[in-house]
Amino acid sequence: MTRRTIFSAFAAFMVFARTMKGAKMTARRPKQSGERRAESDSAGPVLFELTAEERWPVRGLDPVLHIGGTIIDSYRFGNAENTSLIFTCYDASQLQEGAAVFMRYGQDESSRIDFPNFAWSTVKE
Amino acid sequence: MLYVANQNSNTLSVVNTATNAVAAAPATSFSPASMALSPDGARLYVSNPNSNQILVYNTANNTVVGSFAIGQTPLGITTDATRVYVALHANAAVAVFSASTLLQQANIRVGFGPSAIAYSQALNRVYVANTLSNSVSVIDPTRIGTSAAPIIGSITVPDSPVALTIAADGRTAWVASSARPTLARIDLGQGTVDARIQLPVSPAGLALSPDQSRAYVTGYGPQVAVVDTRAESVLKTTALPGCPQVRCLAMSAAVSADGKLVYIANTSLNQISVLNAETNELTTTRINVGQSPRAVLVGPAPRTTPSAAEVSN
Amino acid sequence: MRRLALLLASLLPLAAQADPAAAGPLTVATQDYKIAAVPMPTVAYPIDIWGQVWYPEDLAKGPYPFVFLLHGNHGICRAPGSMVDLGTTSFPPNCPPGQVQTPNHAGYDYLARRLASHGYIVASMNANAINVRANGNPERGQVVVEHLRYWQAWNSPAGGEPFGTMFSGKVDLQNIGLMGHSRGGEGVRAALEFNRQAGRPFGIKGIIEIGPVDFGRTTSPTLVTTGNPVYDAADTAWSVILPSCDADVSDNQGMRAFDRAFQITETAGPTPKSQLYILGANHNFYNSEWTPEDPGFSCIDFPIITDRPQQEAIGTVYVNGFMRTYLGGEKFQYLFHGDSDQPTSIRTPVAHSYAETPARNLLIDNFQGAFSPMNTLLGGPNATGNIAAVRCIDTGCRNPPPAAWRHDPGQAAVRLDWPDGGTGTPYYAIHVGPDGGGPRDVSAYALFSFRVAAAFDPKNPVIESQNFSLRMVDATGAVSKLIPVTNYKAIPYPTGYGFRRSVLRTVRIPLADFAGVDFKQLTRVDLIFDKQPQGALFLADVLFAPARP
Residues C20 and C343: beta-carbon distance below 8 Å: yes
pLDDT at B148 over 60: yes
Q: Which amino acid is present at B217?
A: V
The answer, yes or no, to whether residue C9 has pLDDT greater than 50, is: no
- Whether chain B has a CB inside 8 Å of the CB on C46: the answer is yes
For residue C224, give the chain A residue with the closest CA.
A71
CATH code assigned to B74-293: 2.130.10.10
Q: Which residue of A has its CA nearest to C212?
A: A60
Across the interface, of B52, B67, B102, the residue whose CB is closest to A74 is B52
Contact by Cβ (8 Å): C72, C180: yes
Q: Left if phi > 0, otherwise alpha if psi is -120 to 50, otherwise beta: which for A74? A: beta
Contact C463/A4, CB-based, under 8 Å?
yes
Nearest to A35 among B66, B71, B107 (CB): B66
pLDDT value for B308 = 54
A69-98 mean pLDDT: 93
pLDDT, average across residues C256-280: 90
CA distance B33 to B297: 12
Of A111-125, C171-185, C261-275, the least confident: C261-275
- The Cα B81–Cα B47 span in angstroms is 19
Domains of chain A: 23-33+40-124 (2.60.40)
pLDDT at residue B303 greater than cutoff 70 = no
pLDDT band at C516 (very low <50, low <70, confident <90, very high): very high
C107 touches chain B (CB under 8 A): no
pLDDT of residue C303: 83
B69 touches chain A (CB under 8 A): yes
Confidence of residue C223 (pLDDT cuts 50, 70, 90): very low
Assign B70 a pLDDT band (cuts: 50, 70, 90): confident
Q: How confident is the model at residue C401 (pLDDT cuts 50, 70, 90)?
A: low
Asked if the C-beta of C135 comes within 8 angstroms of chain B's C-beta atoms, the answer is yes
Average pLDDT, integer, range A14-18: 58
Q: Domains (ranges, CATH) in chain C?
A: 2-359 (3.40.50.1820), 361-545 (2.60.120.430)
Residues of A whose CB is below 8 A from B31: none
One-letter amino acid identity for C205?
K
Q: Report pLDDT for C3.
A: 47
Coil, helix or strand at residue A32: coil
- Partner chains of B (3+ C-beta pairs under 8 Å): A, C
Which residues of C are less than 8 Å from B244 in CB distance?
Answer: 161
Compare CB distances from C135 to B90, B158, B159 and report the shortest one's residue.
Answer: B90
pLDDT at C6 over 50: no
Q: What pLDDT, in 10s, does the model give residues C298-331?
A: 888 788 888 999 999 999 999 999 999 999 999 9
End-to-end C-alpha distance for chain A, whole angstroms: 59
Which H or E run contains C276? strand C273-278
- Compare CB distances from A108 to C96, C251, C462 and report the shortest one's residue: C251
| Contact state of A61 with C87 under an 8 Å Cβ cutoff | no
Nearest C-alpha neighbor of C432 from the set C522, C541, C546, C359: C522
CA C294 from centre of chain? 23
Please tell me the distance from the alpha carbon of residue C26 to that of residue C208, in angstroms, as a whole number.
Answer: 24
pLDDT of A34 strictly over 70: no
d(CA B64, CA B59): 9
Query: Hey, which bits of C280-393 come out as E strands?
Result: 350-355, 362-365, 383-385, 388-393
Residue B36 to residue B34: CA distance in whole angstroms: 7
Q: According to the model, what pLDDT value does residue C450 have?
A: 98
Element (H, E) at A8: helix A3-13
Question: What is the torsional sign of CA C415, A11, A63, C240?
Answer: negative
| Nearest CA among B125, B127, B156, B129 for reference residue B143 | B125
> pLDDT tens digit string along B95-139?
999 998 888 889 999 999 999 999 999 999 999 999 999 999 999
Mean pLDDT, all residues of chain B? 94
C402: preceding bond cis by omega (within 30 degrees): yes
Q: What is the residue-averaged pLDDT of chain C? A: 92
Q: What are the residue ranges spanned by the domains of chain B?
A: 74-293
Residue B96 near residue B105, CB atoms below 8 Å: yes
Contact yes or no for C211/C257 (Cβ under 8 A): no
Evaluate if residue C372 carries a pLDDT over 90. no
Per-residue confidence at C194, pLDDT binned at 50, 70, 90? very high
| Full-model pTM | 0.94
C89 in contact with B, Cβ within 8 Å: no
> What is the H or E stretch that residue A9 is in?
helix A3-13
Checking ipTM against 0.90, whether it exceeds it is yes
More confident call, C465 vs A44: C465
Average pLDDT estimate for C339-358:
92
pLDDT number for residue A19: 82
